[in-house]
């Protein structure tokens, strides 16, 4: 399964897009801002 890191500062956007991506077969992780995104990217590699 392919993974996507979805970043947006609006929670409702994350919810809607995440559901669509998961329905498409993706594993989705989320971040609410750039700093959180960088932390998740660095900890994943």
pLDDT value of position 1: 84
- The pLDDT tens digits of the residues spanning 2-35 come to 999 999 999 999 999 999 999 999 999 999 999 9
Helix (H), strand (E) at residue 39: helix 34-44
Residue with tokens 């989320």: 30
Give the largest Cα separation in the chain, rounded: 28
- φ/ψ of 17, rounded to 5, equals -65, -40
């Amino acid at each position: 399964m392919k993974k996507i890191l979805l970043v947006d500062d609006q929670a409702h956007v994350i919810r809607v897009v995440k559901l669509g991506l998961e329905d498409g077969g993706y594993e989705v992780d989320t971040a609410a801002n750039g700093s959180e995104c960088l932390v998740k990217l660095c900890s994943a590699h």
